[in-house]
């Protein structure tokens, strides 16, 4: 390969990996899967957790640290009408064992006091069967499975087995990696064990490159989850997506605009002194201000609005049909090229041609108003499908 070609190719590869590898991984995880899952047996959220003041907010510290810290935070949060559930981490296995890893079972006694004094429901993350048993013994109201647990089907199955026949709500965070099937699998295991009060929590996905967010939101993943599991309540965890306070409002607003059922936001009476995730926690006062700043939009409009919307949607449907027809014709030509290459013993991938296409289409698309990120993603998807089609011919 010529030196100039190598430079072009490596530059392109860096661009792709920086902007859309994670997107592509998540996208292909669900586009290759089933169109819709078999029916889950899930109770509507309002059947067991009525939301009088939308949005539903679940809040509390990342970690329960002391009795006074827990009670001070809980009493302040109880004064916020939208806050119905007090959350606190008790078992906190960290990346490094030398850091604070939670107070453990003693925190369950503090949460019992929270429920008595504030009437807030309590929620705790569980990762092992003994955690579940301890929570049930202390009458914790809601359990949740964290991202590091959901990524492991063995762990999820152990928790599902210990919850067999137990009537308790369980919230399931998305796995660290953007795999909607893995997320659905965790929900399915719990549902098969008789858990009908299920909620999914969107907390973003790990991204190894430096980025704006602590965890990439990848909103298309929870949207796909809702499409494949109709009726499943999904709430958003802006704290873990943002990783910093100044992004919380924008992420929370985006979640509501996508019709998520609520928010899980970490709040601490003294966040700057928190032992874990200090940068993403806010005071109850700041939480009140954040909630007041949210714009709650309706899911439907009046008759005139719906009529115009339907006309516009029909235009979109027509354009989509045309797009698919063009893509089909393009792939037929790709097939002809693949057959021609095979007959003449030519390799599938020509780097110079692909580099020329990529930069030409990127410039063309930018000139007509398409975003850089969208174009990168689109071109990569089309290219991968073209390569796959030609590889099949070469076989």
- Residue 374 maps to which CATH number? 1.20.59.10
Query: Which of 237, 272, 293 is where one domain is finished?
Result: 293
- DSSP type of residue 205: B
Question: Residue 209: which CATH number?
Answer: 3.20.20.70
Say whether both 224 and 340 belong to one domain: no
Task: Classify strands 234-236 and 83-87 as parallel, antiparallel or unpaired.
Answer: unpaired
Place of tokens 């990346």: 95
Any domain includes 38: no
Contacts of 56 (CB under 8 A, 6+ apart): 45, 49, 82, 84, 85, 235, 261, 262, 263
Along the 395 residues of the chain, how does pLDDT read in single tens digits?
A: 343 443 334 444 444 444 444 444 444 444 444 556 668 999 999 999 988 878 899 999 999 999 999 999 999 999 999 999 999 999 987 778 888 989 999 999 999 999 999 999 999 999 999 999 999 999 999 999 999 999 999 999 999 999 999 999 999 999 999 999 999 999 999 999 999 999 999 999 988 776 789 999 999 999 999 999 999 999 999 999 999 999 999 999 999 999 999 999 999 999 999 999 999 999 999 999 999 999 998 878 888 988 898 999 999 999 999 999 999 999 999 999 999 999 999 888 888 888 899 999 999 999 999 999 999 999 999 999 999 999 999 98
3-state secondary structure of 146: coil
Count of domains observed in the chain = 2
Residue 281 · residue 268 · CB < 8 Å: yes
Say whether both 132 and 211 belong to one domain: yes
Residue 185 · residue 157 · CB < 8 Å: no
- The closest alpha carbon to 83, from 105, 59, 109, belongs to 59
Say whether both 171 and 308 belong to one domain: no
Any domain includes 338: yes
Query: Which of 293, 322, 337 is where one domain is finished?
Result: 293
Say whether both 158 and 186 belong to one domain: yes
Any domain includes 39: no
For residue range 43-88, list pLDDT tens digits in order: 999 999 988 878 899 999 999 999 999 999 999 999 999 999 999 9
Say whether both 102 and 137 belong to one domain: yes
Structure pTM? 0.78
Rg (CA), the chain: 24
- Phi/psi for 122 (5° steps) reads -115, 145
Query: Which of 259, 293, 327 is where one domain is finished?
Result: 293
Alpha helices in 138-193 (DSSP H): 147-150, 153-162, 180-192
Please give the angle made by the CA atoms of 261, 120 and 263, to the nearest 5 degrees: 25
In SS3 terms, 49-98 reads as CCCCCCCEEEEECCECCCHHHHHHHHHHHHCCCCEEEEECECCCCCCCCC
Any domain includes 314: yes
Say whether both 253 and 314 belong to one domain: no
Say whether both 186 and 207 belong to one domain: yes
Query: 231: left (phi > 0), else alpha (psi -120 to 50), else beta?
Result: left
Say whether both 129 and 51 belong to one domain: yes
Any domain includes 252: yes
Cβ-in-10-Å burial (0-12, 13-18, 19+) of 374 comes to exposed
Say whether both 281 and 380 belong to one domain: no
Any domain includes 275: yes
Give the range of the structural domain holding residue 243, as residue numbers without chain letter.
Answer: 45-293
- For the record, the structure tokens of 248 come out as 């919380």
């Amino acid at each position: 390969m010529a030196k100039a070609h190598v430079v072009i190719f490596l530059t392109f590869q860096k661009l792709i990996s920086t902007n859309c590898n994670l997107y592509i991984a998540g996208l292909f995880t669900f586009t290759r899967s089933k169109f819709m899952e078999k029916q889950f047996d899930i109770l509507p959220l309002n059947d067991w957790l009525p939301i009088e003041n939308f949005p539903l907010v679940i809040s509390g510290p990342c970690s329960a640290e002391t009795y006074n810290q827990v009670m001070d935070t809980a009493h302040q949060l109880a004064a916020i009408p939208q806050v119905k559930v007090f959350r606190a981490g008790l078992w906190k296995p960290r990346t490094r064992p030398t850091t604070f890893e939670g107070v453990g079972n003693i925190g369950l006694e503090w949460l019992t006091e929270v429920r008595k004094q504030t009437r807030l429901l309590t929620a705790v993350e569980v990762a092992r069967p003994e955690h579940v048993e301890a929570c049930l013994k202390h009458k914790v109201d809601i359990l949740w499975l964290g991202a590091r647990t959901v990524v492991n089907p063995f762990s999820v199955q152990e928790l599902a087995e210990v919850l067999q026949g137990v009537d308790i709500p369980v919230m399931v965070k998305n796995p660290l990696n953007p795999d909607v099937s893995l997320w659905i699998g965790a929900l399915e295991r719990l549902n098969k064990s008789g858990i009908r009060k299920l909620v999914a929590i969107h907390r973003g996905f790990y991204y190894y490159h430096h980025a704006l967010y602590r965890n990439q939101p990848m909103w298309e993943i929870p949207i796909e989850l809702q499409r494949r599991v109709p009726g499943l309540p999904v709430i958003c965890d802006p704290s873990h997506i943002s990783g910093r306070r100044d992004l919380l409002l924008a992420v929370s607003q985006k979640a509501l605009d996508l019709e998520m059922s609520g928010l899980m936001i970490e709040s601490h009476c003294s966040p700057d002194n928190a032992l874990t995730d200090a940068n993403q926690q806010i005071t109850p006062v700041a939480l009140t201000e954040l909630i007041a700043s949210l714009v709650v939009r309706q899911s439907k409009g009046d008759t005139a609005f719906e009529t115009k919307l339907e006309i516009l949607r029909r235009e979109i449907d027509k354009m989509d049909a045309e797009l698919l027809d063009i893509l089909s014709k393009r792939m037929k030509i790709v097939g002809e090229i693949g057959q021609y290459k095979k007959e003449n013993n030519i390799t599938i991938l020509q780097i110079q041609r692909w580099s020329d296409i990529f930069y030409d289409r990127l410039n063309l698309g930018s000139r007509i108003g398409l975003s850089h990120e969208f174009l990168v993603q689109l071109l990569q998807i089309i290219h991968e499908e073209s390569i796959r089609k030609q590889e099949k011919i070469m076989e």
